[in-house]
Amino acid sequence: MTIHSSHPFDSPDADRDPARRLRGRVGATVSLWTAGSGRDRAGLTVSSYLVAAGDPSRIVAVLHPESELLERLEETGTAVVALLDWRHRDLADVFAGVMPSPGGPFRSGEWQDTAWGPRRPSLSTWAGVRLDAGATRDVGWSRLVEAVIEHVELGDDAEPLVHRRGRYQRPPG
Protein backbone atom coordinates (compact mmCIF):
# COMPACT_ATOMS: atom_id res chain seq x y z
CA MET A 1 0.00 0.00 0.00
CA THR A 2 1.21 3.49 -0.78
CA ILE A 3 -0.12 6.97 -0.20
CA HIS A 4 1.50 8.32 -3.36
CA SER A 5 0.38 7.76 -6.93
CA SER A 6 3.94 8.45 -8.12
CA HIS A 7 7.45 8.59 -6.65
CA PRO A 8 7.32 11.27 -3.91
CA PHE A 9 10.89 12.49 -4.50
CA ASP A 10 11.00 12.59 -8.31
CA SER A 11 12.05 15.88 -9.83
CA PRO A 12 9.60 17.43 -12.28
CA ASP A 13 10.20 16.32 -15.88
CA ALA A 14 11.45 19.79 -16.86
CA ASP A 15 14.22 19.58 -14.21
CA ARG A 16 15.57 16.17 -15.28
CA ASP A 17 18.67 15.76 -17.46
CA PRO A 18 17.39 14.64 -20.89
CA ALA A 19 20.65 12.81 -21.78
CA ARG A 20 20.47 10.83 -18.54
CA ARG A 21 16.84 9.96 -19.26
CA LEU A 22 17.82 8.81 -22.77
CA ARG A 23 20.61 6.63 -21.34
CA GLY A 24 18.10 5.07 -18.92
CA ARG A 25 15.85 4.04 -21.79
CA VAL A 26 18.65 2.30 -23.70
CA GLY A 27 18.89 -0.62 -21.28
CA ALA A 28 21.72 -3.12 -20.99
CA THR A 29 22.74 -6.44 -19.54
CA VAL A 30 24.44 -5.78 -16.20
CA SER A 31 28.10 -6.75 -15.90
CA LEU A 32 30.53 -6.99 -13.01
CA TRP A 33 34.07 -5.76 -13.65
CA THR A 34 36.77 -6.97 -11.24
CA ALA A 35 40.52 -6.37 -11.14
CA GLY A 36 43.47 -6.84 -8.83
CA SER A 37 44.33 -9.63 -6.43
CA GLY A 38 44.42 -10.39 -2.72
CA ARG A 39 43.58 -7.38 -0.58
CA ASP A 40 44.01 -5.11 -3.61
CA ARG A 41 40.91 -6.33 -5.45
CA ALA A 42 38.27 -3.94 -6.69
CA GLY A 43 35.00 -4.35 -8.54
CA LEU A 44 32.21 -2.29 -10.03
CA THR A 45 28.76 -3.00 -11.45
CA VAL A 46 28.71 -1.65 -15.03
CA SER A 47 25.83 -1.42 -17.49
CA SER A 48 27.31 1.24 -19.80
CA TYR A 49 29.44 -0.91 -22.08
CA LEU A 50 29.53 -2.53 -25.51
CA VAL A 51 31.36 -5.38 -27.18
CA ALA A 52 32.92 -4.77 -30.60
CA ALA A 53 33.72 -7.93 -32.57
CA GLY A 54 36.91 -7.87 -34.61
CA ASP A 55 40.51 -8.99 -34.65
CA PRO A 56 41.09 -8.39 -31.85
CA SER A 57 37.62 -8.01 -30.32
CA ARG A 58 37.24 -5.23 -27.78
CA ILE A 59 35.02 -4.11 -24.96
CA VAL A 60 34.38 -0.42 -24.35
CA ALA A 61 32.95 0.85 -21.07
CA VAL A 62 32.11 4.06 -19.27
CA LEU A 63 33.43 3.92 -15.69
CA HIS A 64 33.23 6.24 -12.70
CA PRO A 65 36.48 8.25 -12.77
CA GLU A 66 37.03 7.96 -9.00
CA SER A 67 36.17 4.26 -8.67
CA GLU A 68 38.59 1.81 -7.10
CA LEU A 69 37.94 -0.46 -10.08
CA LEU A 70 39.29 2.12 -12.55
CA GLU A 71 42.36 2.67 -10.35
CA ARG A 72 43.02 -1.08 -10.12
CA LEU A 73 42.39 -1.59 -13.86
CA GLU A 74 44.91 1.12 -14.71
CA GLU A 75 47.45 -0.37 -12.25
CA THR A 76 47.15 -4.01 -13.37
CA GLY A 77 46.10 -3.51 -16.99
CA THR A 78 43.66 -6.44 -16.78
CA ALA A 79 40.13 -7.22 -15.59
CA VAL A 80 37.43 -9.85 -15.56
CA VAL A 81 34.11 -8.78 -17.10
CA ALA A 82 31.29 -11.11 -16.03
CA LEU A 83 27.65 -10.93 -17.10
CA LEU A 84 25.12 -11.13 -14.29
CA ASP A 85 21.94 -13.19 -14.12
CA TRP A 86 18.63 -12.26 -12.50
CA ARG A 87 19.65 -14.20 -9.37
CA HIS A 88 22.69 -11.90 -8.95
CA ARG A 89 20.70 -8.71 -8.22
CA ASP A 90 22.11 -8.44 -4.69
CA LEU A 91 25.66 -8.94 -5.97
CA ALA A 92 25.09 -6.13 -8.49
CA ASP A 93 23.87 -3.84 -5.70
CA VAL A 94 26.82 -4.69 -3.45
CA PHE A 95 29.36 -3.79 -6.15
CA ALA A 96 27.35 -0.70 -7.12
CA GLY A 97 27.73 0.47 -3.53
CA VAL A 98 23.98 0.63 -2.83
CA MET A 99 23.79 -2.45 -0.58
CA PRO A 100 25.97 -2.99 2.49
CA SER A 101 28.50 -5.81 2.52
CA PRO A 102 30.17 -6.24 5.92
CA GLY A 103 33.87 -6.88 5.37
CA GLY A 104 33.72 -5.62 1.77
CA PRO A 105 32.14 -6.85 -1.46
CA PHE A 106 34.56 -9.73 -2.00
CA ARG A 107 33.37 -11.32 1.27
CA SER A 108 30.02 -12.00 -0.41
CA GLY A 109 30.99 -15.40 -1.81
CA GLU A 110 33.67 -17.58 -3.34
CA TRP A 111 36.19 -16.03 -5.76
CA GLN A 112 38.86 -17.58 -7.99
CA ASP A 113 41.98 -15.80 -9.19
CA THR A 114 42.53 -15.72 -12.95
CA ALA A 115 45.24 -14.17 -15.12
CA TRP A 116 42.93 -11.13 -15.49
CA GLY A 117 41.62 -10.72 -11.95
CA PRO A 118 39.14 -12.27 -9.52
CA ARG A 119 36.24 -14.28 -10.92
CA ARG A 120 33.14 -15.55 -9.15
CA PRO A 121 32.54 -19.18 -10.22
CA SER A 122 28.74 -18.74 -10.23
CA LEU A 123 29.11 -16.18 -13.03
CA SER A 124 29.40 -18.53 -15.99
CA THR A 125 29.70 -15.99 -18.82
CA TRP A 126 32.84 -13.91 -18.53
CA ALA A 127 35.76 -12.40 -20.39
CA GLY A 128 39.37 -11.72 -19.47
CA VAL A 129 40.38 -8.34 -20.87
CA ARG A 130 43.56 -6.26 -21.21
CA LEU A 131 43.32 -2.47 -21.01
CA ASP A 132 44.35 -0.44 -24.06
CA ALA A 133 45.75 2.47 -22.05
CA GLY A 134 46.11 4.62 -25.17
CA ALA A 135 42.37 4.43 -25.81
CA THR A 136 41.30 5.72 -22.38
CA ARG A 137 39.85 9.22 -22.11
CA ASP A 138 37.35 11.38 -20.25
CA VAL A 139 33.81 11.53 -21.63
CA GLY A 140 31.17 13.58 -19.86
CA TRP A 141 31.51 12.93 -16.14
CA SER A 142 33.00 9.49 -16.72
CA ARG A 143 36.10 7.72 -18.02
CA LEU A 144 35.87 5.77 -21.29
CA VAL A 145 38.03 2.65 -21.25
CA GLU A 146 38.76 0.26 -24.08
CA ALA A 147 40.13 -3.23 -23.54
CA VAL A 148 41.15 -6.12 -25.78
CA ILE A 149 39.23 -9.33 -25.13
CA GLU A 150 41.79 -12.09 -24.54
CA HIS A 151 39.58 -14.89 -23.20
CA VAL A 152 35.84 -15.69 -23.25
CA GLU A 153 33.75 -18.35 -21.51
CA LEU A 154 30.07 -18.57 -22.40
CA GLY A 155 27.60 -20.03 -19.94
CA ASP A 156 23.83 -20.27 -19.71
CA ASP A 157 21.93 -17.12 -20.71
CA ALA A 158 18.46 -18.07 -19.44
CA GLU A 159 17.75 -15.04 -17.22
CA PRO A 160 20.19 -12.17 -17.82
CA LEU A 161 20.02 -9.23 -15.43
CA VAL A 162 18.94 -6.18 -17.41
CA HIS A 163 19.06 -2.58 -16.17
CA ARG A 164 16.64 -0.11 -17.72
CA ARG A 165 15.22 3.18 -16.45
CA GLY A 166 16.89 2.81 -13.07
CA ARG A 167 15.56 -0.68 -12.33
CA TYR A 168 16.51 -4.30 -12.82
CA GLN A 169 14.27 -6.14 -15.25
CA ARG A 170 13.88 -9.60 -16.64
CA PRO A 171 13.91 -9.58 -20.43
CA PRO A 172 10.55 -10.51 -21.97
CA GLY A 173 10.10 -14.01 -23.23
Domain count, the chain: 1
Percent of the chain whose pLDDT exceeds 90: 74
Within a domain: 8: no
Q: Which domain holds residue 46?
A: 22-163
Within a domain: 56: yes
pLDDT at 173 over 70: no
Within a domain: 97: yes
Within a domain: 9: no
What average pLDDT score do residues 151-160 get?
Answer: 93
Within a domain: 6: no
> pLDDT tens-digit profile of 76-90?
999 999 999 999 999
Rounded to two decimals, what is the model's pTM? 0.88
As a whole number of Å, the CA-based R_g of the chain is 17
Residue 72 sits in a domain whose CATH number is 2.30.110.10
Q: How far apart are CA 98 and CA 121, in angstroms?
A: 23
| pLDDT of amino acid 1 | 47
- In whole angstroms, what separates CA 18 from the centre of its chain? 23
What average pLDDT score do residues 105-134 get?
Answer: 96
Within a domain: 17: no
| pLDDT of amino acid 18 | 79
pLDDT at 7 over 60: no
For CA atoms 8, 165, 68, 64, the dihedral sign is negative
Q: How far apart are CA 71 and CA 54, in angstroms?
A: 27
Within a domain: 119: yes
Within a domain: 13: no
Of the two residues 108 and 150, the one the predictor is more confident about is: 150
